[in-house]
Structure 1
């Protein structure tokens, strides 16, 4: 490939330069037509292999749709065969749908094995999560489903996945409301009588952001990010959401594509691609290790480097 062509491909690898070109594009201009082809090639050359858990609706589904439209290879995840068939119809361009109930240790491990068999992913978004719903215990460990899906299953997957270039954990602005004492993280001592879903959710989001930062310290070859998607009227957020779905999805797409400074790790993003300010405790390494140790003791899996 000629050096001038390589230079142009390099130039158009950034969103800022693509935006400049789009504002000055003239369809009848031969030069613009040639550059448009190079721009397509630049996008093509950046095609990424992406996995999004919890992608049958809401943020995960819409992010998948947009990433597929942008010519990326996207794998979805569904909890059951029925949901898998449904999302195939909603998102026919997906490369595949992996099926696993993330309240199960065995199925979560199976998800990691099947993903690893596909190959190394450029980006993995650990989007699956629970907020409201009846109290129910996970089958193998007896942990309430909410902290298991929100914290333990991401831990298992982080332990078992081949390291992607970008690993995105789903936090929440509500981590600011979480209890920082880190006692009885999985509600095993307090049990069903004391369980309240909203405080448990806030706690779980603080815990998963501590976990994400612990992973960031260990995985030197991966950009590890926490994201607050926004409070949106989705199945998880309920009908009272005040944010826009597209603002959160915009951040998902940016991170999945790697259209940011990938030397950043252990940071927190908000909707509209904004770097957020998490509570100070999320950077406390001792607190991070409390969460890691609790997950390790529960699952028997060790979080490697």
Structure 2
């Protein structure tokens, strides 16, 4: 029988579908208060309503929140609201992700869109939520990453991939950056590859995937305070394995922090 998460508050980004939605459902079933993030207020509310109606979730433990991760101003607004309304945040699930588009696309902030949505927005959100995540011992961050990070390289001189763009390379770069970020010492964080699931990102991996609920179970397991974690650890589903070498290299972590701070306009 899974342990109760009653009294714990968890923010799940990208919770309107796929692994994010299923993570929110499972966390709620185990008694956690879940902040259900969607790109718009309407999407977040619809997901919350669906959790209540279809999954039987307790309405009192669900809070819709919204931010478009293609707009860093939205991320800052979300963080301010969460810190104000939930000064004790026990876990943050950085799950929201998009496949890089066929054509090279920059956000209004000037960043390649997959790099911003999949990594930079989560980097900024995590840092702004640090007061809530560290308000008491045990706060943790779970980055939903991908095995594709192993085939990636961060283009330090051209992170926006303006000179040479490939949608798969851009997506993989965003996942490597998210995995490297787990080793940042400011908050306790881990990364997890939840496995190939039948979600909107499935075309990047193949034609068949397991139910999103199975992938979400690995995410929720890492949110459980009874699960001991080590900062920067990487999990292939339920098994701790070594990530790509770059993900635990101190120089890479520091270099990425410097780059990310520059791109989000945030000084740590």
User: Shorter-chain TM-score: which interval?
Assistant: 0.7 to 0.9
User: Which residue does the alignment assign to 2:64?
Assistant: 97
Structure 2: stretches of 5+ with no match in the other structure: 53-57, 134-138
Give how far 1:244 is off: 4.2
User: What is residue 153 of structure 2 aligned with on the other side?
Assistant: 179
- Any conservation in 2 of the 1:230–1:245 contact (CA below 8 Å)? no
Give unmatched runs, 5+ long, in structure 1: 1-17, 20-41
Per-residue deviation at 1:47? 3.2
Q: How many residues align?
A: 251
Which of 227, 231, 248 is the matching residue for 2:196? Answer: 231
Number of the residue aligned with 1:69:
29
Structure 1 stretches of at least 4 aligned residues deviating more than 4 Å after TM superposition? none
DSSP-derived class of the 2:10 partner? strand
Picking from 207, 212, 222, the partner of 2:177 is 207
- The one of the two structures with greater contact order (alpha-carbon pairs below 8 A, sep at least 6) is 2
Please state if 1:125 is matched with 2:90.
no
1:180 CA drift (Å): 5.1
Task: Answer yes or no: is 1:267 the counterpart of 2:233.
Answer: yes
Flag the structure with larger Rg: 1
Aligned-residue CA RMSD (Å) = 2.0
Q: CA distance change for structure 1 residues 84 and 180 in 2, over 3 Å: closer, same or farther?
A: closer
Determine the structure 1 residue equivalent to 2:255: 290
Q: Is the 8 A contact 1:248 1:270 kept in 2?
A: no
The two structures have a TM-score, normalised by structure 1, of 0.76
Return the alpha-carbon distance in structure 2 between the equivalents of residues 240 and 159 of structure 1. Answer: 36
Pairing partner for 1:58 from 9, 14, 18? 18
Say which structure is richer in helix.
1
Change (3 A) 1:270 1:259: farther
